[in-house]
Amino acid sequence: MSFSWLLRVVVVLLLPIFLCASPVVTANEKPAAQAWLVTYGPGNVYFERFGHNALWLKNPSSGLDHIFNFGFFDFNQPNFLGRFISGDTLYFAAARNPEVEFAEYIATQRNISLQQLKLNPDQYQRLENYLLDQIQPANRDYRYQYFRNNCSTRVRDALDLVFNGEIQQSLQALPAPITVRQQIHQAAAADPWLYLGMDMAMGPSVDRNQSQWQASFIPEVLARVVSQLPEVLADEVVYYQSDKDHQSGQPLVFLFISSLLLAGLLVLLSKPWQAILKARLVASVWLVICSLAGGGLLWLWLATTHTDAANNWNVLLLNPLYIPAMLWLRSKPHASRRLAMLVVISTVLAAVGALFSGQDLLAPLAFFGLPMLTVSLLLWKAGTQQS
């Protein structure tokens, strides 16, 4: 028998042994620790519109299996409402059981996606130590800021710490395709009044170009940029996919139709007997409402820590001076005409100022433009008939 035939016989005899063989695992050896970025899709409630995220750590060696979440707040904290309005809301971090947390999001039909992070043992341990430290009573609270210090930026910063600043270095060099305001528009598209309210409260600072690093204050944006970093991402899994769309809508169309209806209502209310007095009364009530709202915007700008409310041209659109102007002009000749001119001038100045500052005033003008024009025409007509 030749040597080659002998070799073939040996291989055939030993092959079953190799096929059945398995790696030797000692009794004390356990699977490697894992870290996952968890991203929750938007929900129905206004504070769920922007989605949410967290970090899930699984360490068989220590028995750790928890989701670290930076999105908690307590309604019972002292002066919660005052702190919220003034921009001094306290949020806190906590660790939760994954099954409990996932069940809550599934119950509200919110998508859940998982991204496994590519961490070596030292990086994983550093992340675990950091997160365990963050949930300690002395460290867990932080002052929440919508676009700069929220649940998503806290997760982003934790990852950046583990990767020694490489994530920030990569993302700062990449321009984001849209501004903060446009991100807000996308998130609030299904809720026109939230869309309008946030748009009214924000000044031109949110219309500037931003980097991918800054844009990752939105959880879904952070998930998207992580998927583009091969040095960070190991695997992606869809844990739960809802069939419900929480973000579709045509808010500008809704606001414009609402504006038409409101303008029609103002005209209708001014039609009954003694039309001059009715027109002035209807116009005055509307301007009082606008003036109070404008005062609120001015307060946000000057008296709170909401830095993105500064230099807001909506303050002229809803001019706080309408109330004192009405009180001053009530005994003046042609008072209604003067007030009508003030409304037109203030509205035009708001639009021109926003144009030159780069502030997007489309949504506020879509809703307030026609009513302001209607009120000015009612006042002018009343003034003409009175003279």
The domain ranges of the chain are 34-176+211-240, 251-386
pTM, to two decimals: 0.84
Is the pLDDT confidence value at 226 over 90?
A: yes
Q: Which of 114-118, 142-146, 158-162, 180-184 has the lowest mean pLDDT?
A: 142-146
Tokens of 192: 């026109």
pLDDT greater at residue 76 or residue 133: 133
pLDDT band at 28 (very low <50, low <70, confident <90, very high): low
Give residue-wise pLDDT tens across range 173-189: 999 999 999 999 999 99
Q: What is the pLDDT of residues 199-210, one digit of tens each?
A: 999 999 999 999
Q: What pLDDT does residue 59 have? A: 95
What is the tens place of the pLDDT at every residue in 308-347? 999 999 999 999 999 999 988 777 778 888 999 999 999 9
Confidence of residue 21 (pLDDT cuts 50, 70, 90): very low
Q: What is the pLDDT of residue 30?
A: 65
- Residue 386: what pLDDT? 57
Please tell me the total number of residues recorded for the chain in this structure: 387
pLDDT at 17 > cutoff 50: no
Asked whether the predicted pLDDT for residue 5 surpasses 60, the reply is no
Lowest mean pLDDT: which of 23-37, 43-57, 200-214, 243-257? 23-37
Question: What mean pLDDT is reported for the chain?
Answer: 87
What pLDDT is stored for residue 97 in this prediction?
A: 96
- Of the chain, the percentage scoring pLDDT greater than 90 comes to 70
- Residue 29's pLDDT band, with cuts at 50, 70 and 90, is low
Q: Residue 284: which of 384, 371, 379 has the closest Cα?
A: 379
Which of 237, 246, 244, 247 shows the shortest CA–CA distance to 113? 237
Residues forming beta bridges with residue 65, ordered by sequence position = 58
pLDDT at 4 exceeding the cut of 60: no
Half-sphere exposure of 191 (CA within 13 A, CB side): 19
pLDDT of res. 7: 40
pLDDT tens sequence across 230-239: 999 999 999 9
Flag whether pLDDT at 280 surpasses 50.
yes
**Which pLDDT does position 376 carry in this prediction?**
93
Residue 281 in this model has a pLDDT that exceeds 50: yes
Query: Residues 6 or more apart from 294 whose CB is under 8 A from it?
Result: 314, 315, 316, 317, 318, 319, 320, 322
Residue 8 reports pLDDT greater than 60: no
What fold is seen in the domain 34-176+211-240?
endopeptidase fold (from Nostoc punctiforme) (3.90.1720)
The C-alpha atoms of residue 103 and residue 107 are separated, in whole angstroms, by 6
Is the CB of residue 118 less than 8 Å from the CB of residue 231? yes
- In terms of Cβ atoms closer than 10 Å to its own Cβ (0-12, 13-18, 19+), residue 376 is buried
How large is the average pLDDT for residues 133-154?
A: 94
33 vs 238: CA distance, rounded Å: 20
